[in-house]
Amino acid sequence: MKPALPSLFAVATMLASVPFNAAAGQNTQEDTSSVITPSDAIPTSPPIAEKREHTYTHHGITISDPYDWLYDKSYPTIDDEDVLDYVKAENAWFEAQMGEREAVTEALFQEMRARIKEDDSTVPQRKGDYLYWSEFDEGEQYRKHYRKPVSVPADAEGTLILDENELAGDLEYFRLGALSISKNGRFMAYSTDTNGSERYTAVIKDLETGEMLADEIPNLRGGLTWVMDDTALVYGPSTENWRTLEAKLHVLGTPIEDDVTLYEETDQSFSVGAGLSAEDDWLIIATGDNETSEVRLVPADNPTGDLILVKAREKGVEYSLDVRKDPTGSDELWIWTNDDHINFRLAKASIKTPGDWTTVIEGSNEFYLTGFDLFKDFFVTEGRLNGLDQVQIRSYDAPSEAAPIAFPEASYNAGLSNNPEYDQSKLRLAYESMVTPDSVYDYDVKSGALELLKQQEIPSGYDKSLYVTERLEFEARDGTMVPVSIVMRKDREELLEKHNIEGAGPLHLYAYGAYGYAIPPGFSTTRLSLVDRGFAYAIAHIRGGDDLGRRWYLQGKLNERANTFNDFVDVGRGLIAKGYTAEGMVSASGGSAGGELMGAIVNQDPKQYGAVVAHVPFVDVLNTMLNAELPLTPGEWQEWGNPIESKQAFAYILSYSPYDQVSAQEYPPMLVTAGLNDPRVTYWEPAKWVAKLRDTKTDDNILLMKTNMGAGHGGKSGRWNSLYEVAEEFNFILWQMGMGKAVDTSGIETGGEE
């Protein structure tokens, strides 16, 4: 069990001020003495951002950054008119180019929507005295949440406890954050974000009366944890710089200013999170960065009591824990840690001597232990063996003996799903593969039987037998073998012939490659819009993720970051050499740190790609890591290096930072996205990158940037709004890969979102 520390994704920079020249053509310089304001007329050429002299020097190295003005220095307020004018002008250019293909976007959107069961629901799961589930109504953007007592008949109707559609109303953006039901089932605390800034506001509903309490917790990050017999909540407030440095206690019915700080972190690079132990009797407060952690415990019924420090932080040592009663009734800590093995071990300790850890399961070079969950009569370990997910049932009496759950395919994505009850005999599992839709199972621990409860329905039809998936390996330039998961139609050659594609067909290559986040070989209905037109779709399991273990992650960070980019480029070249595709027929995409990947690979090997999509790309790496005031920067130095203190880190980041390495060469067609309210990768990173690319690149290939003016890191909210953005992306890819005519737009009269 890993306590929920806020995810530390790709970092960013901040904002600034100055204009662009909307009338200028590509790669030209004109008088920049005045600001050009965009008009309502449809633009006939892309906007050209002004260059404004700006330099900075670190470690004796001077860098010129003429687009620094796009970072609005009043951030998080963004009110510089020159900045806003430029962003709006880029949006106008995007609309002008994509507007001509709106019918294609709409056709793809309708095609993707037809694969989604609109009136869908989750499988009910028990928590306490109730069954909980959520539903989508036909046509609606957001979920409705229901529950009913366990004691009522199975066919009894549920009670609506939360309607996200009602909360969203006419808002441009809405996202539900935490949703936490009190242990007695009476109160529901939930948080919402209405602008994409990921600063949530929490409120509380009395589910017995239907009334909203007066309590309101603003500026929240992370979860909501019930303590003190459901009379109080533990939460993490956000600082002005969007950091979570406290665990605070709010007692129902008291003023927010009276909330008590249970723990406060002094290291700005750390982040604080809280949760309950398996039996809900201990509050676990964890703090850490990307490589070091520290945990404290306090009784959940007395959260203001003295905190128990489990083990003091030690740089490079990660650990998380859970608590259970041993056979004598004493509290026993179970600890997941990398203190003596890179792939983690499982240990335990007495609550009386919490820092004295005894190994339960040794660390292994073969098996990568990624986590564990405690239950009353057994416990579960999860991990990966040869890159494939493992779910293992273990006994407290013989913990070293594992009973792995067998899954039917050679390559898949599987793991524990929602299992809120400590005492249960069946486990809820999630399973999918690149050809098998999302599936929900119950696993009977005693009998070993897997019961399929639900598999994702695809109303427009899906025949698994039409597709083939493979697990391949390609050699990177340093000799490392990099795995790739790939899916395509069995009749791919016929499809390509149908769409007049001669020779090797198009292939879409996707990866992330950072923070130790593995990209599993999972299922996607939207992906079918490419695959069913003859694309092969490949996921490169590159270094920087932990697909093949912790070392795989470490080989893609800090001073080995270039391995991530090289792996992606070399996998693409390997796929070309094997005949899966050809040079210029590879489309690629990635977001956030995966957007940084896109920036690096087009600098390194632009001829390989026929189209590249970079979502909220973390491309201004050096400037971001030099700015300690940005939301995530201090916590990111462990991932990328600290160029403020280290000349070596400065030089190394400079050597690959996509923005800094833009050069006078030809680049492939590119679509770049941003979110004006994004606190993770701030809008000016993609804006500066696009501005520099326009001025520097030597080709006439199209370059588009779309900034969501009322959204953040995840793009637009609502299932149809976000789906429409996928349709836009695929429209761009098909267009640039010469397959725009593969989309039937007959019957499409108008475009736009639902």
Can you list the domains of the chain with their CATH numbers? 122-170 (no CATH), 177-317 (2.130.10.120), 319-457 (2.130.10.120)
Cα–Cα distance for residue pair 677/337, rounded to 1 Å = 36
Residue that is written with structure tokens 């329905």 in the block: 457
Q: What is the pLDDT of residue 678?
A: 78
Cα–Cα distance for residue pair 37/316, rounded to 1 Å = 51
Q: What is the pLDDT of residue 40?
A: 63
Q: What is the pLDDT of residue 445?
A: 96
Residue 33 among the catalytic residues: no
Cα–Cα distance for residue pair 699/155, rounded to 1 Å = 63
Half-sphere exposure in the Cβ direction for 294 (13 Å, CA):
19
Cα–Cα distance for residue pair 520/516, rounded to 1 Å = 12
Low-confidence ranges of the chain (pLDDT < 70): 1-40, 711-712, 715-716, 748-754
Tell which residue, 610, 584, 582, has the closest CA to residue 504: 582
Cα–Cα distance for residue pair 225/193, rounded to 1 Å = 18
Q: What is the pLDDT of residue 749?
A: 55
User: Which residue spans within 300-366 are E strands per DSSP?
Assistant: 308-309, 319-325, 331-337, 345-350, 358-361
Residue 678 among the catalytic residues: yes
- The whole model's pTM is what? 0.89
Cα–Cα distance for residue pair 386/381, rounded to 1 Å = 16
Q: Are 692 and 67 in contact (CB under 8 A)?
A: yes
User: Which residue spans within 12-129 are E strands per DSSP?
Assistant: 20-21, 48-49, 55-58, 61-64, 125-127
Residues 6+ apart with CB under 8 A from 535: 488, 505, 506, 507, 508, 587
Count of Cβ atoms closer than 10 Å to residue 82 Cβ: 21
Residue that is written with structure tokens 């703090």 in the block: 287
Count of Cβ atoms closer than 10 Å to residue 645 Cβ: 12
Residues 6+ apart with CB under 8 A from 607: 583, 584, 666, 668
Catalytic residue among 72, 85, 546, 678: 678
Residue that is written with structure tokens 């008088």 in the block: 31
Residue that is written with structure tokens 């303590």 in the block: 227
Cα–Cα distance for residue pair 521/460, rounded to 1 Å = 23
How many residues in total does the chain contain?
Answer: 754
Count of Cβ atoms closer than 10 Å to residue 494 Cβ: 11
Q: What is the pLDDT of residue 23?
A: 29
Amino acid code (one letter) for 211: E
Q: What is the pLDDT of residue 513?
A: 97
Residue 746 among the catalytic residues: no
Amino acid code (one letter) for 482: V
Cα–Cα distance for residue pair 182/177, rounded to 1 Å = 16
Cα–Cα distance for residue pair 143/366, rounded to 1 Å = 41
Helices 647-656, 562-577: inter-axial angle, 10-degree rounding: 30
Catalytic residue among 250, 508, 615, 713: 713
Q: Are 535 and 541 in contact (CB under 8 A)?
A: no
Catalytic residue among 238, 277, 592, 717: 592
The DSSP output letter for 71 is B
